[in-house]
Amino acid sequence: MLAAENIEWPDEIEALIDRLEGESAERDLTREERALLDIYETVPILESEDCLHEFWQSGIDQQRIISSFDLIGATAIVAPLNASRWCETRAEDRGDYSETEADHLATIEEELSEGLGELIDLILDFIEEELG
pLDDT in tens, 75-103: 999 999 999 999 998 877 888 899 999 99
pTM: predicted TM-score of the whole model, two decimal places? 0.90
Of 33-37, 39-43, 60-64, 95-99, least confident by mean pLDDT is: 95-99
CB-based burial label for 25 (10 Å; 0-12, 13-18, 19+): exposed
Torsion sign (Cα): 55, 59, 62, 65: negative
Q: Report which residue type is found at 31.
A: R
CA 11 – CA 29 distance, rounded (Å): 21
Q: Report which residue type is found at 71.
A: L
CA 34 – CA 40 distance, rounded (Å): 10
Of 1-10, 47-56, 90-99, least confident by mean pLDDT is: 1-10
Are 21 and 34 a contacting pair, CB within 8 Å?
no
pLDDT at 2: 46
To the nearest whole number, what is the mean pLDDT of the chain? Answer: 92
pLDDT at 95: 85
Q: Domain coordinates of the chain in residue numbers?
A: 30-131
- What DSSP string runs through 27-63? SPPPHHHHHHHHHHHHHHHHTSSSHHHHHHHSSS-HH
